Copies of this chain bind each other. A is one copy, B any other.
Amino acid sequence: MLKITIKDIAKLAGVSTATVSKIVNNKIDDVSDTTVDKVRKIIKEKNYTPNYLARSMVTKKTKTLGLIIPDIRNPFFTDIAKGAEDRANELGYSIFFCNSDDDLDKEFTYINSLIEKQVDGIMLAGAAKRDKDRERKININIPIISVDRNAYYKGIKGSIEIDNYEGAYEGVKHLISKGYERIVFVSGPLDTKPSKERLRGYKEALIDAGRKIDNENIIVGTYERNFGEKIIETLDYSLENVGFFCGNDLIAIGLIKSLKEKNYKIPEEIGVIGFDDIYISLLISPSLTSVRQPSYKMGYESIELLIKILNNSNEEKNKKTLKTRLIIRESTNRISLDKNKKDK
């Protein structure tokens, strides 16, 4: 029971494969109505669907994209993936899904395998640690859109980012306005551009509030919950009235967990704020104040942009920066001591 091909249809209809092909692809200016009807009927009867492989061989388009994210278990990336998938689906594309585990080697391997499978383009949220030289050497002749994270491949044709600087600035400003004394930045790896930008926002907000920047208050680790849980053990100053600005929600959630175990009161004694606003942040207690990223939208727009580039409607603007929004919840929402106001 072999699959039915265009030849079978052609034979049954008594026409050439060229004619059938035209009808299948709706290029029927050239075909009489009677023929169209006849062939369509047979196609339906026989349940014929064209073989995409064969089609792709000649058209050089697979209508297939690659999506690489670092961590499918982080809801932030899951949301990006969902946005990407939805838009791809709407536009008739399929997605090869790859999870790099934040490992650059694995990312390389996936990129190569995607190229072999002839994807039309790649959407990449890169692994945290980069290697400019190696990346630049890889010969990529299909378009890549980078999302969230930075990368240096030659093929990169555009990017979707968020305004990490602004997001961090707002967050830190909020902590200060709530009267927290010492503002600690618990950062993810500084190899990533988002982390760097957030650090910049953190510093600016402090300076603008007339505070000093103290390296003791900048802690660098990974974007994982584990890291958050371990932090307080490493601090040798009093946590009284400290405001923690965390690199992402997972870190913040880990931190809160360990703070609660030590019986600190949040937000009364300690304030915690995260980044991403994954949906878990709403569920933990105290619920987490967080800088919301439009993650779904980031995925959606990335695919949008990628496909625009594929159809080389030469986009003038291949870089897009989306806005964050501070979502205030319990973890910082103490009856405001409003130190800030008093100071003024």
* Contacting pair B118 A52 (CB below 8 A): yes
Contact with B along A3-31 (1 / 0, CB 8 A): 10000000000000000000000000000
* Contacting pair B85 A113 (CB below 8 A): no
How many copies, total?
2
* Stretch in A93-101, A156-164, A300-308, A315-323 touching the partner: A93-101
- Which residues of A are in contact with B by a Cβ distance under 8 Å? 1, 3, 47, 49-54, 56-57, 62, 64, 67, 72-73, 75, 78-79, 81-82, 85-86, 94-99, 112-118, 139, 141, 225, 253, 257, 260, 279-280, 283-285
Q: How far is the CA of A266 from the CA of B78 in the complex (A)?
A: 31
From the candidates B51, B78, B117, name the one contacting A94 in the complex (CB within 8 A): B117
A82 and B78 in contact, given A3-B141, A53-B118, A97-B97 (Cβ under 8 angstroms): no
From the candidates B54, B82, B113, B280, name the one contacting A57 in the complex (CB within 8 A): B54
22 contacts between A and B (CB under 8 A): A3-B141, A49-B112, A52-B116, A53-B57, A53-B117, A54-B57, A67-B97, A73-B75, A73-B82, A73-B279, A78-B78, A82-B99, A85-B98, A86-B99, A94-B96, A94-B114, A253-B283, A257-B283, A280-B283, A283-B284, A284-B284, A284-B285
Residues of B within 8 A of A73 (CB): 75, 78-79, 82, 279
Residues of B within 8 A of A79 (CB): 73
Tell me the nearest residue of chain B to A81, going by C-beta.
B72
Closest beta carbon of chain B to A6's beta carbon, Å: 13
Closest beta carbon of chain B to A150's beta carbon, Å: 24
Residues of B within 8 A of A285 (CB): 260, 284-285
Tell me the nearest residue of chain B to A51, going by C-beta.
B118
Instruction: Return the 5 tightest CB-CB contacts between A and B, nearest first.
Output: A97-B97, A52-B117, A49-B116, A53-B53, A94-B96
